[in-house]
Structure formats: C-alpha cells, structure tokens
Structure 1
Amino acid sequence: MAKHMVNLDALIPREDFEAASPEALTQPSGLMANLGVAELGPESFMYNVLRKPDFQRETANWTPDKVAALVRSFLEGDLIPAIILWRSPKSGNIFAIDGAHRLSALIAWVHDDYGDKHRSLRFFDGVIPSEQQKAAETTRKLIQDSVGSFSELKTALQNPDTTSSEKLRLARNLSAFALQLQWVNGEAEKAESSFFRINQQATPIDPTELDMIKARHKPNALAARAFIRAGTGHKYWSSFDDPIQMEIESLAKDVYDLIFRPTLDMSIRSTDLPVAGRGYSADSLKMVFELVNFVNRLRPEMWQPEKNGRKRTTANQSDMSTLADDLDGTATLEFMRATKKAASKIAGNSPASLGLHPAVYFYSATGRFQPAAFLAAVAFTQELVEKRRLVKYTELRAKFEDFLVSYKHFLNQIVQSYGSLQRSVPPILEMYKILLDSLAEGLDDEATIERMRANSNPRLPVKAITEDDRRHGRNFSSETKNAIVLKATLESSPVCQICNARLHLRSMTFDHKIRKEDGGGGAMDNGQMTHPYCNSGYKESRPSSEATR
C-alpha cells in the first residue's frame, strides 16, 4: 500500500483564536452534543463556521489506509473518540481543539476531496505535488472499494431497488450515526492551553513542530512555513501588506524549486534527483527550519520562550538578544533572502552556484536523502566563502568528490552514530574540512582516513568496509534499488569541463572554451558544460591562457 500521507489540510480553514467578528455576538444557551456527517457538507451552517487554530500543525499525517479505516469505522458504528471543540466568543466560529484529523477524514469523504479536488486546489493555488495526488487517488479507491462514496450512500435510500443491500445498510447507518462532541469553555487563552495539553498526550506534537507553533509570529518560523509549501497553502503571512506577501510567496517558490524539484517519490526512479529530497515530510520540515536558523545565525535561545523565567546567556554574550515577532514582514523577507542566497550557492544556475551534485553530497550509500548532509554542505560552502577557499576547493573538487563517492558509507556511519539533522552536521562538516586539507597536502586516501579517525573534533566514527561487511538477501530491498539507481547516476553523470567534477544537469551553464573577448564564437565546438561558479568566479580568477586550456 502507498506510503504517502493524505494531505487534508485544506478542508478546515485556520484562524486566529483572537479574531473578532464585526457583528455583536450572543452567548449560546446550549451547544450541540452530537454532529451528523451531513453537517460537514459544503453548504451546512456548521461546516462554514468550523476552524482550526492558526498554529495547528498540518493535517497531513494519516495514510490512505487510516483515512479509509476511519470512514469505515464511523459507518459501522465503532467507537470514535469525541471531538473537542471551542466556540470563540469574539468571532462565533467553532475551533477543533482535538480531532481535526478525524473531522478532516470525514469531510474529505463528504466532499470527495482527499487533497486533490475543489478546496484543495484553491488552497494550494493549483499546485498539487505528485505524491499528494497519488495518496488522494489511493484513498479514494480504498474508500470506494470499502464503503462507497458519500454521494452514493446519500442517494441509496431514494433508489432502494437499484442499490445493493450492503449500501442500503450503510446508508441507514449514515442517517442515524453521529460524532460525539465535547466543548471547552472559556476565553482564547483557555482554548490554547487546552489544545497544547490535549495534543501532547496520545500523539505528542513533534518537538520541531511545537517550536514552530510557539514561534509562529517570528520571522524564522514564517520563512520556514513559506518555503516548505512553495508559498501555497495557509498564508501564515496574510496580515502583511500585499507587496510583502507577494515577495514572500515569490521567494518561497524560488527556493522550493531550487531544492525540492523535481519531486522525489518514495523510491529513486530517476537520475534527476532533487537537491533536498522529498518536498514535504517530517524531516524536510525540520531541515528547512534548521536551514533558515543556520543561515541567519540564529540560536534556539534567541527565539524559544525562556524557561522558568531565567534569562539565557552564552559564553560569548552576556545577554543573548531575543528574536522579536515580525509585525510587518520585513524581518521574514530578510531571512528568506539570506536563505535563498545560501541555497543558490549550492544549487541552481546563478553565477555563484557551485552546482553540487545531489548524488555526491546529499544522498547516502543506500540512496536515502540525508538532511544533515544537506545542511553540512550549506555550512561548508559558507565557510569556503568566508575563508576565501573557493578557488582551492575548485582546484581539488574532482578529487574531493571522488573520495566522497568512494567512501559514501562514511555518511551512513556518521548519521548512525550521531543521529539525524543538526547532531550530525558538525561531524560531516569536520569530514569535509579534513578532506580538503588532506588533498591540499597531497595525502592519499589511507592517510586521509587515518587523519579523520585520529584528529577529528568532533570524533569521526568512519571506517572502510569490505564486501564481507555487506549482507544481502535473495531479493532487492528498496534501499538496494535506490543504491543501484544512485550508482548509475554517479557513473553516468557528465563532468564539468573546467574542474572535471560531476555536473548536475539542473545546475550547469554553457561556457565558451575561447572567450568571446578573445575572439571565441558561438559554434558548437567552442562550447562546453560547466558548473556556474567554474564558468564565472573560478574561470575569471585564472589567467586568460590557463582558462582556455
């Protein structure tokens, strides 16, 4: 069964708890105790006042099987936990405090929108990733095979002579069954505290997601939210002026295209790999947030709420500055521009781009994308710029990358030892620095590996492996298949005609072998494929006679 998650995020709009209605509201004398599924239709009063908190995590964590099972369970009368709601005394809208996924699954069934139709298309500005489309199609088929569509059951009782007995049974259940409701009483502060308390129990919110929820008005969280969905979906930045909103969405799309295109399926089937793996997953959200924080030199102490009322300090700062909420979008734009500049340094066709090949730098020996390696590459390129070592790196780049390919399992060993994301970034960066220094000194592979094992700080738990270390069954695992495609990608990659390192075809330029200013023309035999930086910064750093060799 498909492993893609069903994206139901469009089906219940988000809203700020504190949003107010221009009309005067009356306090209800009583609140409903049950909710029939018919009340979730697009024209019902209830559906049109239903909301999620604006900080609600994306409703995209259920598999097609789980969505189909929930719909089936409801129609069979199985016990479904009560939905916990809160009615805002300011807007009159009703917020899902707990049960948004359950509600969204039933809404999806009623609307026949599993992340690919009507509301979803409008919500995501018509941009539906292929994995989201596949999950929707799988879910629709599962539900059709299991219970049928909502529209079928809705008309079943009107046409009993042409409807199967099973469909009639389910239709009668649909007419009688309802969801149980519980209500939170009080103001917005009580509703928010209830949300966090409830959602940290059965299925705790991921720590990164929780950090982003609590920092939802800060520029780093706003930037990460925009990047991860290419500026589509819920507009967390909707309170900003229109020109700022437009630039946020433009920058978000640019960075998304740089690092997440083309779309990566669960298994590698193409040699055209995205720089940063899958466009939306738990790891990708963490990685993008870490990327924004790293590029903009933010430490958790700057944006996380202080604990126990104590002011945080560091060895270098007696008073750590606090990252303020972004009230007008200018700080968010500043962070996004810096992130785009960093991403453009490793991918894309801008003149400063090194055009790092994803298969060399970002994917492990088993063909799996490693977020830590992506972040380490960003850190490494920034260090090359700051220490003015780009030219030296380019001179040694082919040997540098040959080593990484030959010992690609080192990346697996580091991540297994330190864990994913930020914990593995320092040792991967340390490996890159030792490798570059060793190549500059003319050391061979054996001496380089010994230096990594002996002198690294942090420690590098790397060791060469032999064929005897590998264990394979009779059938190809998905990791083995990915590794086969990755190996073919590395072997078939063209090389830059200036530095002789591998080229990623989405990050290359065409160069005149003989410069135009030296009389070179536009004929095919005077052209060559190169990395953008090799064709600009590195080529321009060499004498004219050397650059044309």
Structure 2
Amino acid sequence: MLTLRQTRYGSILLEPDLTHGKKIGLVNELLNIMFGDICQNTVSIEQGQRVENLMLKLRVVLCRIATPAVSIRIPSLGLHPKLYFYKDHRFQVTSFLAWFSIVCEIEEDCFEIQNKKLDFIGFTRARRGVESLIEKIPVAIKETVGKFGSGIRSHERLKNVYQAFICIGLNIDLDFEDEVCLNTVILSMSQSFDYINFNDFYLERFGGDYDESIVDDVVSFVKSVRPSKKKKPLNFSIATKRNLYQREEKKTWSYCEVCDSALYLESTEVDHRESKAEGGYGIIENGAIIHPICNRFKSDRDLDEVRADLFE
C-alpha cells in the first residue's frame, strides 16, 4: 500500500527549510482543513480505527496533489511543486496549504464556482490558465502574503486568490498579448482584491477595453468565497487562562475582582467581566480571576452589576 512518505507530502516533511515545530504545525493544519474539530475528539475505544480513517482520507487528498507512478488507484493531478509550492527554491507552506484546501474541496465534491460544482476534469480545463496566472502575475501572491503573513495563518487568503485564478481560467482563454484579455484579468483581480495595485503593476500596458461581464462574474465569485473574519471565542481557551494566571503570579498579592479579597490562585476560577449573555468574549481583556463562590454569586451578570449589588 502506498504510504504517506511515498507521496509528495513525504518529501515536504523532509524539507530542510522546515523546523520540526513547523512540520508538526503543518500536519495539524492539514487535518484541520479537512476535518475541523473532528480530529481533536478521537478519545474513545475506537480511537485507533478513527485515526487510521482520518489518515487514509488525508492520504487520498495528498495523492491527488502529486503521486509517484506506482499508484494507480488514486489518479493524481501531478501539480508541479516548483510552480505551485516553491518560490526562489524555497518551499512555501502558505501556497501548499491553500492548494491542499482547494484539492480537498474538489475531492469532497463541495467546490463551487458560480453555483456549479467543479470536479477534477473541470479544474483541468482551467489549469493552463491558472498556471499562467501564477507565473505572469506573481504580484497577487506576493502582496497577499505580504499583507496577511506567510505560513499557516494566511493560507485562506491566498486560497481566495487561487480561487479567483480558477474562475478566470474557466472564463477566459488567456492570452497576455491580447489587450482586452489582459485588461479583463487586471480589473477582475484589482476589483476583487483592493489591497493589490494591479493597475500600477501593468500601468504601461493598461489600455481600458475589457470584458465587463467576466469582471463582474469574477468579483462576485471572489466576494462569495472570501474568508470572513474569525469570530472572537465565547469561552476562554486554555492558553488564555494560562496567560491570565501568569500575569497574576507576577504580583505579590492578587485580589478578587468581585469582593476585593485576597486570592489563593490554586483555588480560583476565570470568568467574564462582561458576561456572555451580554455579548462578552473569552478574550484576555475580558477575563477576571475570582473566588469560586464569587463566580456563583456573579452568575451571568456583568462585573459592575455584581459589585454594585454586593457593596451598595
């Protein structure tokens, strides 16, 4: 059976540019892209089988990206790593994760463009155009990474750029020597991504004639798939609680924000200053370390309301 090590993924894990920590983060993010929180809830009597199933699904997507010729059961796209995942001979984690996410959605039959499902044959129709866009307008990739950062944290933004490339590739027979085609591409991208100044990049060649319907289609599609800002968490994460306690441990004495009495940190709880019921989030600025009895008294009320009830 083909192992993960035999896929392109196995080679990536051996990249000298990636530290051990980055490799672990990459593996974790691949699973998060595919399964979200599912992979974090595998503690059961069938844990081993569940993990194996997750890894088999992961293997399928990785094989779709690039697989040695020994595999005949999972036809590969054979994406050329030098074009898709590398820049200046350095492996780009952001690009790899972005394309992994796209291939994963196509594999799961949930990648849509203009209300039509895109399968691997559909992607193949757009592929020549996509690769031309990657090669001809690297400014789109460069400025996206420059604005949102490289690595794991920005792959959704770069994925959005590649989705636009696919949409353009399906709608236009790309010819960068054709003025109308070039202008249509420039306007499609510049109106979809206002942080990238495509007009300046191609200022000398920009003529003005373009296909308005294609521009509108691309802009509309990009808007529909643009990643939304992540919502602030309602509950406190383990890391947030740890930061709150570390801040208090530096003090000689800590005091309860409800009753103003001294805190024994090993017998305390973290609660919201502004309650969740009133829209408070589980962020460090909204965290208060208090006595357990004070937490029960506070319930889902705001801190100011509780103190007024206690002292007035």
Task: Give me the TM-score of the superposition, normalised by structure 2.
Answer: 0.50
The structure having more radius of gyration, on CA atoms, is: 1
Q: Give 1 or 2: higher helix fraction.
A: 2
Task: Give me the TM-score of the superposition, normalised by structure 1.
Answer: 0.30
